[in-house]
Structure 1
């Protein structure tokens, strides 16, 4: 599973970013709080929602569960400083997708029984691939089969297979795609690597 996270760019609008990754085959777009000057999250979602609906693409928003409910999109990704995941679930109902940032096996295991769909481990926050492997091993050892998503600006093609072998089931990427001269092609290449 590839999750594309939007980013501020000198070259593309957020909608253009979404169009390119959808063209490349991505089925999951998360709108980041990092937005271009003069735009609001709601404005962006109003542009992206019909595009995602037309292409059968999951549309998520970062942090703002109330906006996710208002816009009737698929769900919300929570940072540690956002509302509690239980509050987000109560607000959004049983069908919404909810993910949350985590840094350790203990934090992931604390989600057990809370109806959270995925936990993110970020390689930009001090985790190595070996750390992630150990964390997932501890989580699975406790019988918890939540989806684990790896995130990080420096995840490259060579890391994908190692992370998959470590037990990662999804990848959140942004700059790896947008910094490529052909973002749609980069998206397709990443998806091809994940399917191996």
Structure 2
């Protein structure tokens, strides 16, 4: 069973705040999940950055997840990849990376969640929570109500895969968001946009721990149960 952290930090290309320093700060603040996101970089630049920060991530015993690029994830032996709707198919990513690596996917609707849960993935990023300038092709904004509605419906379908809220989340949103049933949050500006990045990270970590002190889901059992339920429905419908 793979452990999925409740706090995911997504790097952002900033001229005055290098990615290596972002990683250092959030790791000092207690974050142990770094998603390397470099949307406008070419493969060589993304690979070089991943190689440069890997020793730092490893020193803190954190996880390095590569956004969008399973080939770079494989090249640097990262812990996994996060893929969007227009990126590599989850099954192709699993075939490329193997059974031990983490694969996360982005969802915006209940149909997305139900579809993605059929594949061998480890978590789903659900959003955007609100408008965020870090995404150029932004899906419809969900807000608290949208996220709560999708998660509640997913649970009625037997989906127990960890669902991470993403997209424009601020520190002040987290307490209410955790009431929607999400497993955790993925943030960027909520940390890098503050004066004291380490303190901001620690504050978010404390909030998440208060809501979910033991964030462990037996995903293998849950996906087996979900698939068994689908098989039972299929048998009933075929009779």
- Tell me the TM-score normalized by structure 1: 0.94
1:64 equivalenced with 2:80 (yes/no): no
Counterparts of 1:10-21 in structure 2, within 5 Å, are: 10-21=15-26
Whole-angstrom CA distance in 2 between matches of 1:64 and 1:128: 28
Whole-angstrom CA distance in 2 between matches of 1:163 and 1:89: 30
Call closer, same or farther: CA 1:36–1:187 in 2, change over 3 Å: farther
- Tell me the TM-score normalized by structure 2: 0.78
Counterparts of 1:1-196 in structure 2, within 5 Å, are: 1-34=6-39, 40-122=45-127, 123=129, 124=131, 125-153=140-168, 155-196=169-210
Q: Summarize deviations over 1:74-102 as a string: whole Å, max 9, x none.
A: 00000111110010011111111111111
Offset, 1:35: 5.9
- Ranges in structure 1 where 5+ consecutive residues have no aligned partner: none
SS in 2 for 1:61: strand
Contact 1:99 1:117 (C-alpha < 8 Å) held by counterparts: yes
Whole-angstrom CA distance in 1 between matches of 2:141 and 2:117: 24
Call closer, same or farther: CA 1:186–1:36 in 2, change over 3 Å: farther
Contact 2:84 2:105 (C-alpha < 8 Å) held by counterparts: yes
Number of equivalences: 194
Q: Summarize deviations over 1:143-174 as a string: whole Å, max 9, x none.
A: 11011111122x22332122111111121101
Greater strand share, 1 or 2? 1
SS in 2 for 1:166: coil
